[in-house]
Structure 1
Amino acid sequence: MASKQIKMPSSQHLSIVQVISNYPNAQPVPSIKGGTEKVVYELTEELVRRGHHVTLFAARGSRSSARLIPYPKGLKHHQIPQYVLRHMPAGTQIIHDHTFRSALRRRKLPCPSLCTVHLPVKKHGKNPVYVSKRARQLMGGGKGYYVYNGINMHEYEFSSEKHGYLLFMGRIIRNKGVLQAIQVAEQTGKRLLIAGPIKAPVFFRQEIQKRIQRNPKISYVGAVGGQRKQQLLKHAECLLFPTLWEEPFGLIMVEAMACGTPVLALPNGSVPEVLSGFPQLICKSVSQMAKKVQQKNYPSPAKLRQYVTQRFTNRQMTDKYVRLYRKMIQRQEQGKRAPKV
């Protein structure tokens, strides 16, 4: 991270408010579909395990070990600040805003705050935290902080046994690179499974479905979660991640490697950071990706899982956020003590 670590007593438990979006199709926390909801859940649970006092504002139907305050039915995005401030516990020391447009950014708050920029939006709150160096560079002009997303390793099943299929897993939209994944399958003659919700129906119908129908080795298996997702990830020969846009993080890459499955990716967005330990998995083009599929020169499943354990766990993510929380709190305390000029 960009900031120096602030040394404060590690035994000091904080009072933290976590706020997540309540948009029309909000997912409860945790969610088998939404990556942001999953990350917020893991952060919240780890904070509670460490003894911090956490209040989570989230969509109805959420579950958490923290004090959970669900949004009322019909609450709009612009109403979130008023609702949070009205129900926030007394003595709150820090507010962590995870809403996609930083809902609390314009409000005068009774305590320090920071906002994680999960998606590429222009409206950032105070003390923005990006989910990769690349995201901080593009969206924050190099200012602010970055903390990589982390996962709970106990939730990901490891397997060294692979079943010889390629896997694409993500939203079915053009920029995610599903068409490029199909091209890799076509060039290699490999079996390809495509998993994910169809978010661009016209694109799917006109460009994806026809190619699937022409090739019996390519299958669309729908949106997946839970045990089905685990099975697909851990037994895939390789996950294809040919993203075409500046993806802020790309959690599925980490999830696949945690299961012992290699990832071949185009060098866009956070890919060079997430795969920095395995530069041989980064591809300059679809043709090179196809060539690497045929060569099968992959790191061992055990090395892939170890790599995630060392860099992208919920514990490491929480360590960095707690350091930031303490820095913001200490900064405000120092400001209060500063003599007036």
Structure 2
Amino acid sequence: MASRSKAYDNRRWLRIAMVVPPWYEVPPPGYGGVEQVVAGLVDALVDRGHDVTLFGAGAETGTRARLAATVEEPQMERLGEFLPEVVHVARTNRMIEAGGFDIVHDHTVIGPLTAQRRSVPTVATVHGNPVDEYGDVLRSLGPDVRLVAISDAQRRLAPTLPWYGTVHNGMVVDDLAGRSTDTAADREGRPVLWLARFSAEKAPELAIEACRAARLPLVLAGKCVEPFEQEYFSEVVEPMLGPDVEVVLNPDRSTTARLLLSARCLIMPIQWDEPFGMVVIEAMAVGTPVVTLNRGAMPELVQDGVTGFIRDDPGDLPQALHDAARLSGRACQEHVSRNFSTARMAEGYELVYADRRNASPLARAHIL
């Protein structure tokens, strides 16, 4: 068995096994933040000369990686069950052992638990909050896994975990098509957009209240598939709806792109410690500022007063929604280009793959 702490030879490229959960295709046609991030990372790594094999579900991938599918159809309808991911990881590990890889980059929950059985090192990106039962799982991984956070805020929730580094998520920024020339007058007639899954953590009801107080129209667009999401929508959100609120359920990627582009701003009245928030980056990338509450990674993503507004009190959101119209779309785009490109994300992970514990300001990889 190869040493898990080996120093790689002088090759500039690696053979990477990229493991995603079996729920959605990569990239996803609609909801699927992890899969969207991985799609950008895969293509950036291929651009940098690496040989990437994507272990996931479905018959094809929209990335430039080689697809090794463990199941013919994405398992979205079984999301939340235990067994589909167990089977996926077991099949993936058998293929990895026969594949001659240099590194395994795992985005699943269960996969890192099997790292000791793999003959090559495992890097595990933590996409959720590392607390409670999930935190206990992460504490059990031991030295065989290089544990990577997606924000410093996420790390602060569990500072005693053996974090190897932090690498912010990224997105493709080469062909940004934002409203960098829009004026405040252009934005005045546009609706505020809330885009998330329907849940208490994302607080669509606070978005409705803030927009009503500001006398601004609102579009609520988001995932409403799982029973708890449907229950939340029917019991909390639906009774609050009126002519000033438009609802778009389960939008696909093209619809969400159109909504982001045509919004006055994105509102994120989150009620939990969001570990990242990819929709925030996607909004700013097309020149749409973000109004958010001060939770989780929001201060790492939004430049207060430049690309959006971060507020501590929900009562301050209505004024921020009005003020957001004057912010520069070009400044939002430039902020994303500088800090959240897929190239920067890939460079951060290259340091982790190579077992180099030096910081990279370009990649924003804070290596311990």
Normalised by the size of structure 1, how large is the TM-score?
Answer: 0.86
Shift of 1:239: 0.4
User: What's the counterpart of residue 45 of structure 2?
Assistant: 47
Q: Which AA in structure 2 matches 1:27?
A: Y
- When residues 82 and 223 of structure 1 are mapped into structure 2, their CA distance, relative to the original with a 3 A threshold, is closer
User: What's the counterpart of residue 84 of structure 1?
Assistant: 92
C-alpha separation in 2, matches of 1:274 and 1:282 = 10
* 1:194 paired to 2:192: no
User: What's the counterpart of residue 339 of structure 1?
Assistant: none
Q: Which runs of 5+ in 2 are unaligned?
A: 1-6, 76-82, 358-368
- When residues 263 and 37 of structure 1 are mapped into structure 2, their CA distance, relative to the original with a 3 A threshold, is same
Shift of 1:87: 1.2
Shift of 1:79: 2.9
Normalised by the size of structure 2, how large is the TM-score?
Answer: 0.80
Q: Which AA in structure 1 matches 2:238?
A: Q
Mapped contact 1:254–1:308 kept (Cα < 8 A): yes
1:119-171 Cα deviation digits (max 9, x unpaired): 12322242211110011121353641211000012465312353421000010
1:91-145 Cα deviation digits (max 9, x unpaired): 3111111103444445422111110011123222422111100111213536412
C-alpha separation in 2, matches of 1:284 and 1:82 = 45
CA RMSD across the alignment: 2.4
Q: Which runs of 5+ in 1 are unaligned?
A: 1-5, 330-341
Runs of 4+ in structure 1 deviating by more than 6 angstroms, as ranges, are none
Which residue, out of 108, 112, 124, partners 2:121? 112
User: What's the counterpart of residue 332 of structure 1?
Assistant: none
Q: Which AA in structure 2 matches 1:42?
A: G
Mapped contact 1:136–1:143 kept (Cα < 8 A): no
Mapped contact 1:80–1:103 kept (Cα < 8 A): no
1:313-335 Cα deviation digits (max 9, x unpaired): 11100010011101179xxxxxx
C-alpha separation in 1, matches of 2:268 and 2:58 = 32
C-alpha separation in 2, matches of 1:277 and 1:311 = 15
Which residue, out of 236, 239, 242, partners 2:263? 236
* 1:177 paired to 2:203: yes
Which residues in structure 2 correspond to 1:1-341 (within 5 Å)? 12-22=12-22, 26-31=23-28, 32-63=30-61, 64-73=63-72, 76-88=84-96, 89-105=98-114, 107-120=116-129, 121-122=134-135, 123-124=137-138, 125=141, 126-141=145-160, 143-144=162-163, 145-154=165-174, 156-159=176-179, 160=182, 161-162=186-187, 163-198=189-224, 199=226, 200-212=229-241, 215-276=242-303, 278=305, 281-296=309-324, 298-327=326-355
- Report the 3-state secondary structure (helix = DSSP H, G, I; strand = E; otherwise coil) of the residue aligned with 2:105: strand
Shift of 1:282: 0.3
- When residues 296 and 16 of structure 1 are mapped into structure 2, their CA distance, relative to the original with a 3 A threshold, is closer
C-alpha separation in 1, matches of 2:58 and 2:275 = 27
Shift of 1:216: 0.8
- When residues 87 and 110 of structure 1 are mapped into structure 2, their CA distance, relative to the original with a 3 A threshold, is same
C-alpha separation in 1, matches of 2:112 and 2:354 = 22
Shift of 1:298: 4.1
Structure 1 stretch 29-38 or stretch 217-226: which is displaced more?
217-226
Shift of 1:250: 0.3
User: What's the counterpart of residue 3 of structure 1?
Assistant: none
- When residues 142 and 110 of structure 1 are mapped into structure 2, their CA distance, relative to the original with a 3 A threshold, is closer
Mapped contact 1:157–1:230 kept (Cα < 8 A): no
- Report the 3-state secondary structure (helix = DSSP H, G, I; strand = E; otherwise coil) of the residue aligned with 2:272: coil
Structure 1 stretch 279-288 or stretch 244-253: which is displaced more?
279-288
Mapped contact 1:260–1:305 kept (Cα < 8 A): yes
C-alpha separation in 1, matches of 2:304 and 2:315 = 22
Shift of 1:193: 0.3
Q: Which AA in structure 2 matches 1:178?
A: P
User: What's the counterpart of residue 338 of structure 1?
Assistant: none
C-alpha separation in 1, matches of 2:117 and 2:67 = 23
C-alpha separation in 2, matches of 1:268 and 1:228 = 27
In the alignment of these two chains, the number of paired residues is 318
